[in-house]
Structure 1
Amino acid sequence: MSSTKNSEMSSSSLFKKRFVHLDLKGAPPKVSYLSEVFPLFHALGANGLLVEYEDMFPYEGQLQLLRAKHAYSPSEINEILHLAAQHGLEVVPLVQTFGHMEFVLKHQALAHLREVAVFPNTLNPHEAESLALVGTMVDQVLKLHPGSRWFHMGCDEVYYLGEGEASRQWLQQEHNTKAKLCLSHMKAVASYVRGRYPTTTPLVWDDMLRDIPEDQLSVSGVPQLVEPVLWDYRANLDVQAKALLMEKYRKCGFPQLWAASAFKGSTGVSQALTPIEHHLRNHLQWLQVAASTPADSLQGIVLTGWQRYDHLSVLCELLPVGIPSLAVCLQSLLYGGFAEDIKARVENFLGIPSLDVTNFTSEGAASFPGSDILALITQVSFHLRSSVDALLERDRYVTGWFSPYHRRRKLVHPVMLQHIQPQALSLLARWDTLVRELEAALQRVFYPDAVEEWLEENVQPSLRRLQDLLQDLHEATSPTDGAQGP
């Protein structure tokens, strides 16, 4: 992957603003860890943060029920903002106000505001109470973010919109469409933000706007209120199609546009390791988009780092795991490509002797904050399940003399115990040691519930299979009253 430009030139990034997205709806880092990574983000070329608080925000009053168990306190939010400012990172808060409302609408007390009664993801835009709820959330968040130049109101993936009872009746009236319904709610929320906070500009994800015809968008009033963030996380992003979409948005009257790429969290719902090459290609494509459109068409780019696909899905790559990818992507944006000298810069920033962007493994230990977590998760991802599989499914003594048939009947040839048990004990001891080390490393960065979830999803199933084998062996060799035979 080489750059078309000479990267020896000083940075002349096509993206003036480079904001790193912190998705806090899963495995939110402790503030102490953020204090370690913010200087690195800045050094790598970031100059802002898009902070998606979700249930980590310290909502108050009637909204207190939205708080996660380990939600940040108001003083911790202040500390995050102080740390960000210290390292030249402008903070833009993100609050979902339409789709992806699971963290709000999962609560029984607010379930009556769902668009479709059984699904907690989308807000019913017909209820006056819906707008009041969103307004309260916005007010509480912006109160702790005074002077924010932007406020991201989400609005992506508004699934099942138009399928609720109130919507169906509304759609039966002449000239009413799902697009109009979507735009009217966006307009209501954006008008609220603009009215209360005249110096704050609302941002929205652009996917709900893409297919709306130009004339409808133009007359909706939405282009005068919000700046769309065009997101595309694919490695083979269509540059020409993106340039045409930007042109359409500009014709509709949107004064400013943003791009959004991904440095992690977009390649698999339960992905544990980050495929750097995929994300590098995505950023190189975005550089082509920026180069093929009029100068300053894009305000900046948000490098998204998803931590869950939605509030109710599993964790994908943890933040420390995605940092090498973030470093590669930020430096590529800054210097217009990923030539050898940029690779050397990244290795230097991360303290990695040799970074391999095409593989999940890099030589030597790194020294960036959380690099121990990356090293241990790499071990688990590559070797834990495969080592247990090798013993349980391919070892001739286990498959030949302690098969599922034997295990159910607690039958084992005594001599086989000497072949199987030492191996199983040794494997279990080895993994127990590594997992304890990983647990300690995770606890330094994350809260207990995230540590428990990651280990339960990624480690416990394999360890349990080993423990079950040893338990069955123990029971099969324990003295019984009668002799057992096949």
Structure 2
Amino acid sequence: MAGPSLFRLRVVHLDLKGAPPRVSYLSEVFPLLRTLGADALLIEYEDMFPYDGHLKLLRAKHAYSPSEIREIQHLARQNDLEVIPLVQTFGHMEFVLKHPVFAHLREVALFPNTLNPHKAESLALVGAMVDQVMELHGEARRLHIGCDEVYFLGEGETSRLWLSQESNTKAKLCLSHVRAVASHVLARHPTLRLLVWDDMLRDMPEDLLQESGVPELVEPVLWDYGADVDIHGKVALMEKFQKCGFTRLWAASAFKGATGPQQALTPIQHHLHNHLQWMQAAQAGPAGALQGIVLTGWQRYDHFAVLCELLPVGIPSLAICLQSVQQGGFTEAAKDEVESCLGVASLDVTDFSREGTGSFPGSDVLALVTQVSVHLRSSVEGLLDGNRYVAGWFSPYHRRQKVIHPVMLQYIQPEALSLLAHWGVLVLELETAMKRIFYPDAVEEWLEENVQPSLRRLKSLVQDLREAAGQPEDGAGPCGHVQEGS
């Protein structure tokens, strides 16, 4: 498939609703993205945007300041990267609707994910959010208004009453809100081109889409993050959307964050296949239909989910996918460029961690995260669950009774202390490296999810050994209590 790029624009998605990078790190990453073939950034600020006034409560603890938002755009301009803000306006509204003051705008009272499309206040809310974002993005030519995964649409009390009326459907309800939001935004910002995710539109009848007026207002972004893209289905969908009146379409792939909500290391081969198949779909589809491709990099599945792969961990995958899209395939030229940009001597997409750390921004975080992800849990489990001395002489029962054979203490304790010391040094190194890139709450969350459970098990074993042996905290003291009957 090697040849010129099938996409005029290559857009890198920055998902800031989890582990948002410091601006200083973005200043290091943007030149790399440009070199690798990126043309634009789709920035999903969520609660990292410095909302003000009655929206100020939406800010995260470490939200960017207005000056930092301007600095991000300045850095993007320096690297010839267009900035496309993304503001959710329908689904994935958790960061807004979780707040009690906005809870009355939920579609379903219990769930904070979907906005109630019937209330005028809902439109006013998203309009105010867009206005504040656009005030700090005066040069933006495009805006993404989200509208994906509008779960529980039609299940609120007002919607149920509305749907009980003849000819009303969930599809019409969805389209009416998208039309209302798009019309509201374009009335205030008439030069903008509006993008929306396509999943809520895919299965709608063609005549309904045509009659809705939505095709004249927005550009669908067709997303599929799987390693086995239905190419025929994507071509049919492009043709359907064109027939309905959508004049501009986009594709969306994934370079990370799409293979599991707790994924810590990026499966590069999965994401490479995803991009190669999207290229096949672009080649097979209507000529010139796709304006570009958005390479998404999800940081959480939603506002309340755990963290997926950190941005530095996903950079090798992003590099490979970007170069493949630019070169028209994962060619030798693409491979050489990736190796050069990442500082990797020999690249293997099946297992990047084996090929060294590289020298790209955040490569030290990738190396340390790999160590933790591959070895921490297994090494602790190997000692606690696989060591014959622990299993035979310091079982959970022995630990509760605080008894151990003095001889066995000498078999178990040195290994436990050595393992704890090893991981203590490495985790401290990782924490230091992460703090250069991320804010303290993101570092704390990642370590709590991925490190502390295993370390707590190991520390508990060490503490129980000391107590059974009658040792003070510094490890000095008698050899241990002999179990009765020994």
* TM-score normalised according to structure 1 size: 0.97
Q: Give the AA of the match of 1:202.
A: L
Conservation of the 8 A alpha-carbon contact between 2:105 and 2:119: yes
Give the aligned partner of residue 125 of structure 2: 133
**1:310-389 correspondence runs (5 A):** 310-389=302-381
Deviations 1:419-471 (A, max 9, x none): 11110000000000000000000000000000000000000011111100011
Identify which range, 106-115 or 293-302, moves more after superposition. 293-302
Conservation of the 8 A alpha-carbon contact between 1:147 and 1:200: no
For 1:454 and 1:164, locate their aligned partners in 2 and report how far apart those are by CA, in whole Å. 35
Deviation (angstroms), 1:337: 0.5
Deviation (angstroms), 1:365: 3.1
Give the aligned partner of residue 185 of structure 2: 193
Q: Which of 59, 66, 75 lines up with 1:67 in the alignment? A: 59
Give the aligned partner of residue 475 of structure 2: none
Give the aligned partner of residue 294 of structure 1: 286
Give the aligned partner of residue 114 of structure 1: 106
Q: Give the AA of the match of 2:121.
A: E
Q: Which of 127, 141, 144 lines up with 1:152 in the alignment? A: 144
Deviations 1:235-294 (A, max 9, x none): 110111100000000000011000000000000100000000000000001111111123
Give the aligned partner of residue 243 of structure 1: 235
Deviations 1:7-58 (A, max 9, x none): 6xxxx21101000000000000000000000000000000100000000000
Give the aligned partner of residue 232 of structure 1: 224
1:180 and 2:179 are equivalent in the alignment: no
Deviations 1:49-93 (A, max 9, x none): 000000000000000000000000000000000000110100000
**1:268-283 correspondence runs (5 A):** 268-283=260-275
Q: Which of 442, 458, 474 lines up with 1:466 in the alignment? A: 458
**Superposition CA RMSD, Å:** 1.4
For 2:266 and 2:414, locate their aligned partners in 1 and report how far apart those are by CA, in whole Å. 35
Give the aligned partner of residue 169 of structure 1: 161
Deviations 1:222-243 (A, max 9, x none): 0000000000001110111100
For 2:42 and 2:63, locate their aligned partners in 1 and report how far apart those are by CA, in whole Å. 18
Deviation (angstroms), 1:483: 7.9
Q: Give the AA of the match of 2:484.
A: G
Secondary structure of the 1:116 match is coil
For 2:448 and 2:255, locate their aligned partners in 1 and report how far apart those are by CA, in whole Å. 25
Conservation of the 8 A alpha-carbon contact between 1:354 and 1:362: no
1:446 and 2:438 are equivalent in the alignment: yes
Secondary structure of the 1:445 match is coil
Identity %: 72
Conservation of the 8 A alpha-carbon contact between 1:273 and 1:360: no
Deviations 1:128-151 (A, max 9, x none): 111000100000001101131111
Give the aligned partner of residue 35 of structure 1: 27
Deviation (angstroms), 1:341: 2.9
Deviation (angstroms), 1:359: 1.7
1:436 and 2:428 are equivalent in the alignment: yes
**1:380-459 correspondence runs (5 A):** 380-459=372-451
Deviation (angstroms), 1:340: 2.6
Secondary structure of the 1:227 match is strand
For 2:323 and 2:88, locate their aligned partners in 1 and report how far apart those are by CA, in whole Å. 30
1:99 and 2:91 are equivalent in the alignment: yes
Conservation of the 8 A alpha-carbon contact between 1:352 and 1:362: no
Q: Give the AA of the match of 2:250.
A: W
Aligned length: 478
Deviation (angstroms), 1:364: 2.7
1:485 and 2:484 are equivalent in the alignment: yes
For 2:92 and 2:390, locate their aligned partners in 1 and report how far apart those are by CA, in whole Å. 47
For 1:394 and 1:216, locate their aligned partners in 2 and report how far apart those are by CA, in whole Å. 62
Conservation of the 8 A alpha-carbon contact between 2:312 and 2:363: yes
For 1:364 and 1:224, locate their aligned partners in 2 and report how far apart those are by CA, in whole Å. 50
For 1:373 and 1:94, locate their aligned partners in 2 and report how far apart those are by CA, in whole Å. 27
For 2:362 and 2:290, locate their aligned partners in 1 and report how far apart those are by CA, in whole Å. 32
Conservation of the 8 A alpha-carbon contact between 1:397 and 1:420: yes
For 2:351 and 2:332, locate their aligned partners in 1 and report how far apart those are by CA, in whole Å. 17
Give the aligned partner of residue 305 of structure 1: 297
Structure 1 residue runs of 5 or longer lacking an equivalent are none
* TM-score normalised according to structure 2 size: 0.97
Secondary structure of the 1:59 match is coil
Conservation of the 8 A alpha-carbon contact between 2:50 and 2:65: yes
For 1:457 and 1:292, locate their aligned partners in 2 and report how far apart those are by CA, in whole Å. 43
For 1:262 and 1:42, locate their aligned partners in 2 and report how far apart those are by CA, in whole Å. 18
Deviation (angstroms), 1:484: 5.6
Conservation of the 8 A alpha-carbon contact between 1:384 and 1:462: yes
Q: Give the AA of the match of 1:45.
A: G
Q: Give the AA of the match of 1:337.
A: G
Secondary structure of the 1:365 match is coil
Structure 2 residue runs of 5 or longer lacking an equivalent are 472-477
Give the aligned partner of residue 254 of structure 1: 246
Identify which range, 357-366 or 78-87, moves more after superposition. 357-366
Conservation of the 8 A alpha-carbon contact between 1:274 and 1:360: no
Q: Give the AA of the match of 1:356.
A: D
Q: Give the AA of the match of 2:138.
A: P
Give the aligned partner of residue 474 of structure 2: none
Secondary structure of the 2:253 match is strand
For 2:343 and 2:234, locate their aligned partners in 1 and report how far apart those are by CA, in whole Å. 36
Q: Give the AA of the match of 1:440.
A: T
Secondary structure of the 2:10 match is strand
Secondary structure of the 1:25 match is coil
Identify which range, 351-360 or 47-56, moves more after superposition. 351-360
For 2:105 and 2:459, locate their aligned partners in 1 and report how far apart those are by CA, in whole Å. 46
Conservation of the 8 A alpha-carbon contact between 2:84 and 2:142: yes
